[in-house]
């Protein structure tokens, strides 16, 4: 449990309660805000590491981070010969990292940061849209974990919005842990701005979720209706939501007429 570190001051907001996918030393250093320890851990395994980082949108309109090992890594030279600006140019057998924010327990208002290390062929079918953010030099896998923990949301209560903010914050945090952060900072910010304009934004994602995620997130305290319907308590809550949607316009008319 890391709630004492990541709980928001906003009682209505979700907080990150589960980072079990992460190295315990890294979690401990971040929890203690041990700057020296964090820098030491970030440099672990850093030599010649580089990653092309993307913000991706899944087919269920959920945002996540994709980190592709760049051509500077020994063993990848034959497969990757240049900076990759489209994930669909990634060879299937490259091992990539993904980081994303997801629900842990909706009733307790808790999130989990999920970290996975898997072959790209097992990731690519999830991707609906992708946005190249930057080529980060000399950043280690440990540094990526630190970025994800530092990017944990503190002020929001809607998963669609949180996954956007988490992904953007991750990309900014990564500038601190790579050797070329200052050189690529403007490009990274411009690429993030372009991604927001062209589809990776809360407003855009909420319009595309077929389960009316905007209504679900507003009325049901951050819970996407599509997630509720898949739960064991889906029938009564779904019925209540359906009745509310039917009755609400009638109530508005009644109140409006009574005020005339």
Tell me the pLDDT tens digit for each residue of 55-86: 999 988 899 999 999 865 555 555 554 566 77
Model pLDDT for residues 233-256, shown as the tens digit of each residue: 444 555 565 555 666 566 655 655
Taking 80 as the threshold, does the pLDDT of residue 177 lie above it?
A: yes
Q: What angle do CA 15, 40, 18 make, to 5 degrees?
A: 20
| DSSP summary character for residue 154 | S
Measured between its terminal Cα atoms, the distance across the chain in Å is 55
Taking 60 as the threshold, does the pLDDT of residue 107 lie above it?
A: yes
Q: How many residues does the chain have?
A: 260
Q: Which two tokens stand for residue 191?
A: 């690429």
Please state the rounded mean pLDDT for residues 87-111.
87
**Integer Rg of the chain from CA:** 20
Poorest-pLDDT segment among 25-34, 189-198, 207-216, 240-249? 207-216
Three-class SS of residue 166? helix
């Amino acid at each position: 449990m890391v709630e004492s570190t990541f709980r928001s001051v906003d009682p209505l907001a979700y907080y990150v309660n589960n980072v079990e996918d992460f190295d315990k030393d890294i979690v401990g250093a971040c929890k203690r805000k041990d700057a020296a320890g964090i820098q030491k851990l970030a440099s672990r395994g850093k030599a010649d590491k580089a990653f092309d980082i993307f913000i991706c949108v899944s087919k269920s309109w959920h945002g996540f981070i994709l980190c592709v090992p760049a051509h500077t890594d020994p063993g990848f030279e034959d497969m990757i010969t240049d900076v990759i600006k489209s994930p669909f140019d990634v060879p299937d057998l490259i091992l990539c990292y993904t980081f994303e924010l997801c629900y842990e327990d909706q009733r307790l208002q808790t999130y989990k940061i999920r970290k996975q290390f898997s072959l790209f062929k097992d990731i690519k079918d999830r991707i609906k849209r992708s946005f190249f953010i930057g080529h980060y030099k000399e950043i280690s896998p440990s540094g990526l974990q630190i970025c994800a923990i530092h990017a944990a949301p503190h002020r929001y209560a809607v998963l669609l919005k949180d996954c956007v903010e988490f992904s953007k914050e991750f990309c900014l945090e990564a500038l601190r842990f790579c050797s070329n952060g200052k050189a690529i900072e403007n490009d990274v910010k411009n690429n993030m701005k372009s991604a927001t304009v062209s589809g990776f934004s809360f407003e855009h994602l909420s319009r595309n979720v077929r389960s009316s995620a905007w209504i679900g997130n507003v009325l049901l305290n951050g819970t996407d209706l599509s997630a509720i319907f898949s739960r064991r308590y889906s029938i009564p809550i779904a019925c209540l939501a359906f009745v509310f949607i039917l009755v609400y316009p009638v109530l508005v008319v009644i109140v409006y007429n009574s005020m005339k």
